[in-house]
Chain A
Amino acid sequence: MRGLVWERLFWTGPVLLGVSVLVFLLMALIPGDPALALLGPYATEANLDRLRAQMALDAPLWTRYFTWIGQVLQGDFGYAYSVDRPVAEELWERGRATLLLASAGYLVCLLLGVGAGVFAAARQYTWIDRSLSVVSMVGISTPAFWLGLLFVMVFSIHLQWLPSGGIQTFGEDPSAGALLRHLALPALTLGLVAAALVARFVRTQMLEVLRLDFVRTARAKGAGEGRILWCHAVRAGIVPVLPVLGLQAGYVLGGAVYVETVFQWPGLGRMLVEAVTQRDLLLVQGGVLLVATAYVLVNLAADVLQAVLDPRLQK
């Protein structure tokens, strides 16, 4: 068990290093000059040269890579010219916003996905099961940004219950309630689409588990149906779903880009899109590295959790 964790942690290093090389090369390969992007269409050659020197863009590629990765290892991510502040500050701020949105979305995904899956399995072939299947098929095939727009139409424009976007409304004091109101629609959008797939997996697993002997034994011992379902069956049924849940966590992190755009959520996804169009190399590199780290760690956590829940994997 501990060995597994250490082994996986050990491999995290090379994976992230590979990611760093890849993203650095990609950013170097895509056409477009960061200095030109910063100075705009009126850039003169003298100004461009001065800025290129200032940003160390005139050095050879490998020198730039090693300088950058060396500084990153010391905790210095460099300066983001497109937003006029250090990369680390920007990452910290945008990362927090994405973390908030992704965790809220993931919570929605877990509650609805697992709940609906178990519920449907417990009532196989009833109208509830069938309608949940239809809803989850629709969910799987619905793009998040479209669902988001639909929610905005209904809840912001027509019912005027919730704000159409942003993390704060002007003229409103920041409070937990206000934050929740702003979080509601984006988290629901993100969570619902992810939940649809989870629900289908959970239902299939639960149907298998509910036919197993130990469930019959529990029933024979007189355990209540609720207890059998939630205490015995779910624990056994959820283990094979855990990798899917890990992947969905990745989806929630990545899918946040669309949702952040639709709802103007000031998170990492939108930051990356803007940074790429602005050719802000250091910001893109730092951002991708952060997302990759989060992705690797979340999947590590899923594996560890699987080992904890399934005693057979602990050996």
Chain B
Amino acid sequence: MKGREEQSLRRRLAGIFFVWLAGCCLCACSGERRPPEDALLIGQAAEPRSLDPHVVTTTNDFRILAQMYEGLVRFQPGTLEVGPGLAERWTVDDGGRRFTFHLREGVRFHDGSVLDAEAVRFNFERLLDPDHPQADTGPFPMSFLFDRIETITTPDERTVVFTLSEPYGPFLSNLAYPSGFIVSPAAVREHGRRFGRHPSGTGPYRLRNWERRQWVELERFEGYRGAPARTPRVVFRALTDENARLTAMVAGELDILLEVPADIIGYFRERPGMAVAEATGPHLWFLILNTREPPFNDRRVRQAVNYAIDKESLVRDLLQDTAVVARGAFADAFAWARDPDLEPYPHDPDRARKLLEEAGAVGTRLHLLAPSSGSGMLEPLPMASAIQADLARVGLDVRIEVFEWNTFLARVNAGLTRPGEMAQMAWMTNDPDTLPSLTLSSTALPEAGGFNSGFFENVELDALLAAARRTTDLDARARYYRQADRLIHEEAPWAFVASWRQNAVHRVEVRGLQLEPSFLFDLAGVEKGARPRPGVSVWRGQLFEAVSLLALPTSTDLKASRRGGGGVHVPGADGSAHLKASNYGPKGAKGAWRVHGNNAGHLPPQQGLPIGWPFTQGVASLALGYRLLPPWGKRGVPPPEDHEEGRQ
């Protein structure tokens, strides 16, 4: 009997030992892991498809490329006006058909080769000439930006002359866009199709390492022509899941997090140690209206829709100020081109109803096409529901139809065919000409391969756009665009809704981060200070915060379901009462955040490892080991049903 007890004790001790060992392993795994001080870690939504600036199309990829490459000209900081880049000066003659660029001296690519006029010519010939030896390194989706180039000549090593088929005002802005960045011909020839993995430009950073599915690491290019970058290394981490991005930021694994969604930005605004940077970009979110069929062939109905949508409330309550109200077809970022006196359509349901009555369109059935998500589309479904409710209030019956993004694009780009059809759309452009030329001019109808999906045709607008395009004088162009701005506003071919503000959350020790209206940024001037020493936080008091953050992913769904697919919404006396439901309206949301904001505030934000921790852990494992791992003793196997009998 005694032997058995001894054995049992031994096993108990073994149990305790193993639990303790497991605890130790976990602790050994822990400890502090923070990003290296000399590297800036940036979290974004996707891995770049390629690092060849002529191949990619998304802002996500452009942001990395803007650190590695430069164009002949560049957007000046804080504006969308063009200044010198790789070309130190340029002249325009022949009535805006001939552009002569004089390149800077002594500029080298990351691979050591020299930037000369031949290199520039190589870049544009690869883009435009299907018979170019390196044309198979494409496809080059944005090559249409340069398709007016007729000939490129190089009178000397540092001079490039572009002759265009017609005078073309937006040419300079297009050159400043990432699609106009200059790549190293030597590297393209060497790597061919794989150039996108072995990039070489002239920018302040060059590629050091691309860890697939993990990150793209750039390092300072010591041979850069200008002031060297302040931070030695920059790392773009690809985190495709929204929650994963947010947790990585909260866990201190990132220094900068880009494009934080509307429903969560408030959390970061109030979190200690974090700051939010914002910039309004050349983005426009609007509804395309099918102007070919009734009721939208009547201008009054189109204006009524603009009056009926409560844009202020959408932007403030639903998008949490991550966007601003759009005034017209030209985004505010194009300050030099848009009409400064133009005001957005006010929210005026009475006027909308009156216009609809005049047009005899009250009670018309409308179809609103929306994507489930998509590049630059903000919060497509909650916004669709909000618009549906606003239009219902003036007597329009809207049915929402939801598509997956690619299906949506194919469907909408082919043109809106049914009467009363509307489609959400968002564009981000680099020149005031691009959006109206591609989407509102009568030469851009879907039949002709353009994006004028609402079939809007206006001779006067066509003439204004053409005149502006043929001019290279900025003031003259601005005069045409202002007229066009007023005309489009009056004709209302779309419902103008919002312009997105690019945002980035960053840790306060990151200094000098400035987001540009081009939706890009320049990291060369950004510095990273020492981070306050983090450690293991005490979780009493923060548990509530954890639970709140966990609940966040559902808040968008909550919005959607609250706003309802039409039937759920109960119109209030105030036009926007439905947006102020306490669960997610500004008051409710802020109140909720303040609770855990304060909660975190009571405790020191970051606290070192408590001294009592190993002791606590020891006691806990002893208790746990004793309780959970009793010996395989006499109680080890339950007696069979007849066992009791047998014993007797």
Query: Quick one: which of A169, A184, A210 contacts B253, CB cutoff 8 A?
Result: A169
Say whether A41 faces chain B, with CB atoms less than 8 Å apart.
yes
Q: Mark A277-307, 1 if CB is under 8 A from B, else 0.
A: 1010000000000000000000000000000
Decide if B36 touches A171 in the complex (CB within 8 Å). Answer: yes
Bound CA–CA A69/B170 (angstroms) = 48
Query: Quick one: which of A37, A149, A170 contacts B39, CB cutoff 8 A?
Result: A170
Query: Quick one: which of A82, A153, A160 contacts B549, CB cutoff 8 A?
Result: A153
Decide if A171 touches B35 in the complex (CB within 8 Å). Answer: yes
Decide if B143 touches A266 in the complex (CB within 8 Å). Answer: no
Decide if B144 touches A170 in the complex (CB within 8 Å). Answer: no
Say whether B58 faces chain A, with CB atoms less than 8 Å apart.
yes
Decide if B35 touches A264 in the complex (CB within 8 Å). Answer: no
Shortest A257–chain B CB gap in Å is 11
Bound CA–CA A130/B248 (angstroms) = 37
Q: Which among A149, A171, A177, A215 has the highest number of chain B CB atoms within 10 Å? A: A171
Majority secondary structure, A binding face: helix
Q: Mark A78-101, 1 if CB is under 8 A from B, else 0.
A: 000011100000000110000000
Q: Which of B93-101, B116-124, B212-220 contacts A (4 or more CB under 8 A)?
A: B212-220
Given contacts A93-B212, A170-B35, contact A165 B542 (CB under 8 A): no
Restricting to A251-282, which residues have a CB under 8 Å from any CB of B?
261-264, 266, 270, 274, 277, 279
Bound CA–CA A54/B138 (angstroms) = 11
Shortest A256–chain B CB gap in Å is 14
Shortest B520–chain A CB gap in Å is 17
Decide if B537 touches A39 in the complex (CB within 8 Å). Answer: no
Give every chain A residue within 8 A of B49 (Cβ-Cβ): 82-84
Given contacts A169-B33, A170-B39, contact A41 B404 (CB under 8 A): no
Q: Which of B159-167, B331-339, B467-475, B629-637 contacts A (4 or more CB under 8 A)?
A: B629-637
Decide if A277 touches B29 in the complex (CB within 8 Å). Answer: no
Decide if B633 touches A225 in the complex (CB within 8 Å). Answer: yes
Decide if B406 touches A39 in the complex (CB within 8 Å). Answer: no
Decide if B211 touches A168 in the complex (CB within 8 Å). Answer: yes
Q: Mark B367-411, 1 if CB is under 8 A from A, else 0.
A: 000000001000000000000000000000000000011110110
Restricting to B238-282, which residues have a CB under 8 Å from any CB of A?
239-241, 243-244, 247-248, 250-253
Say whether A164 faces chain B, with CB atoms less than 8 Å apart.
yes
Bound CA–CA A256/B202 (angstroms) = 42
Shortest B343–chain A CB gap in Å is 29
Shortest A29–chain B CB gap in Å is 12
Restricting to A49-96, which residues have a CB under 8 Å from any CB of B?
50-51, 54, 82-84, 93-94
Give every chain B residue within 8 A of A123 (Cβ-Cβ): 635, 638
Decide if A170 touches B217 in the complex (CB within 8 Å). Answer: yes
Bound CA–CA A115/B190 (angstroms) = 58
Decide if A264 touches B239 in the complex (CB within 8 Å). Answer: yes
Restricting to B31-61, which residues have a CB under 8 Å from any CB of A?
32-33, 35-36, 39, 41, 49-50, 57-58
Please name 22 pairs of A and B residues whose Cβ atoms are closer than 8 Å in the assembled complex, sorted by A. Answer: A32-B406, A41-B413, A42-B142, A152-B251, A153-B550, A158-B539, A158-B542, A159-B537, A159-B539, A160-B32, A160-B251, A160-B252, A161-B27, A162-B29, A171-B39, A184-B29, A215-B637, A219-B637, A225-B637, A226-B636, A229-B637, A277-B404
Decide if A216 touches B640 in the complex (CB within 8 Å). Answer: yes
Decide if A172 touches B141 in the complex (CB within 8 Å). Answer: no
Say whether B340 faces chain A, with CB atoms less than 8 Å apart.
no
Q: Mark B435-461, 1 if CB is under 8 A from A, else 0.
A: 000000000000001000000000000
Bound CA–CA A224/B636 (angstroms) = 10
Restricting to B494-538, which residues have a CB under 8 Å from any CB of A?
534-537
Decide if B243 touches A50 in the complex (CB within 8 Å). Answer: no
Restricting to A169-193, which residues have a CB under 8 Å from any CB of B?
169-172, 177, 180-181, 184
Q: Report the nearest B residue to A270, measured CB to CB.
A: B240
Q: Mark B597-635, 1 if CB is under 8 A from A, else 0.
A: 000000000000000000000000000000010001111
Decide if B39 touches A160 in the complex (CB within 8 Å). Answer: no
Decide if B141 touches A47 in the complex (CB within 8 Å). Answer: yes
Say whether A135 faces chain B, with CB atoms less than 8 Å apart.
no
Given contacts A42-B144, A149-B243, contact A266 B212 (CB under 8 A): yes
Say whether B648 faces chain A, with CB atoms less than 8 Å apart.
no
Shortest A67–chain B CB gap in Å is 20
Give every chain A residue within 8 A of B130 (Cβ-Cβ): 50
Q: Report the nearest A residue to B241, measured CB to CB.
A: A261
Bound CA–CA A64/B123 (angstroms) = 35
Say whether B201 faces chain A, with CB atoms less than 8 Å apart.
no
Say whether B641 faces chain A, with CB atoms less than 8 Å apart.
yes
Query: Quick one: which of A160, A166, A184, A224 contacts B536, CB cutoff 8 A?
Result: A160
Say whether A5 faces chain B, with CB atoms less than 8 Å apart.
no
Shortest A6–chain B CB gap in Å is 39
Say whether B476 faces chain A, with CB atoms less than 8 Å apart.
no
Say whether B588 faces chain A, with CB atoms less than 8 Å apart.
no
Say whether B139 faces chain A, with CB atoms less than 8 Å apart.
yes
Give every chain A residue within 8 A of B536 (Cβ-Cβ): 159-161
Give every chain A residue within 8 A of B300 (Cβ-Cβ): none
Given contacts A226-B632, A262-B243, contact A51 B406 (CB under 8 A): no
A-B interface, 9 closest residue pairs, ranked by CB to CB distance from nearest: A266-B213, A225-B636, A161-B30, A32-B406, A40-B57, A171-B36, A45-B449, A226-B632, A153-B546
Say whether A157 faces chain B, with CB atoms less than 8 Å apart.
yes
Query: Quick one: which of A82, A125, A180, A228 contacts B637, CB cutoff 8 A?
Result: A228
Bound CA–CA A228/B57 (angstroms) = 67
The count of chain B contact residues (Cβ–Cβ below 8 Å) is: 74
Bound CA–CA A149/B235 (angstroms) = 25
Shortest B38–chain A CB gap in Å is 9
Say whether A154 faces chain B, with CB atoms less than 8 Å apart.
yes
Say whether B327 faces chain A, with CB atoms less than 8 Å apart.
no
Query: Quick one: which of A31, A40, A150, A215 contacts B141, CB cutoff 8 A?
Result: A40
Query: Quick one: which of A126, A157, A177 contacts B250, CB cutoff 8 A?
Result: A157
Query: Quick one: which of B33, B237, B640 contacts A215, CB cutoff 8 A?
Result: B640
Say whether B573 faces chain A, with CB atoms less than 8 Å apart.
no
Bound CA–CA A238/B264 (angstroms) = 48
Say whether A36 faces chain B, with CB atoms less than 8 Å apart.
yes
Bound CA–CA A126/B641 (angstroms) = 16
Shortest A232–chain B CB gap in Å is 10
Give every chain A residue within 8 A of B240 (Cβ-Cβ): 261, 264, 270, 274
Bound CA–CA A168/B239 (angstroms) = 13
Decide if A165 touches B239 in the complex (CB within 8 Å). Answer: yes
Decide if A150 touches B550 in the complex (CB within 8 Å). Answer: yes
Give every chain B residue within 8 A of A141 (Cβ-Cβ): none
Give every chain A residue within 8 A of B539 (Cβ-Cβ): 154, 158-159
Shortest A148–chain B CB gap in Å is 9
Say whether A308 faces chain B, with CB atoms less than 8 Å apart.
no
Say whether B568 faces chain A, with CB atoms less than 8 Å apart.
no
Q: Report the nearest B residue to A228, measured CB to CB.
A: B637
Decide if B141 touches A42 in the complex (CB within 8 Å). Answer: yes
Decide if A156 touches B410 in the complex (CB within 8 Å). Answer: no
Decide if A164 touches B143 in the complex (CB within 8 Å). Answer: no
Bound CA–CA A32/B408 (angstroms) = 8
Say whether A26 faces chain B, with CB atoms less than 8 Å apart.
no
Decide if B29 touches A165 in the complex (CB within 8 Å). Answer: no
Give every chain A residue within 8 A of B50 (Cβ-Cβ): 84
Say whether A122 faces chain B, with CB atoms less than 8 Å apart.
yes
Bound CA–CA A210/B239 (angstroms) = 50
Bound CA–CA A127/B410 (angstroms) = 60
Bound CA–CA A216/B214 (angstroms) = 57
Decide if A152 touches B537 in the complex (CB within 8 Å). Answer: no
Q: Which among B27, B239, B243, B537 has the highest number of chain A CB atoms within 10 Å? A: B243
Query: Quick one: which of B241, B534, B543, B549 contacts A264, CB cutoff 8 A?
Result: B241
Say whether B1 faces chain A, with CB atoms less than 8 Å apart.
no
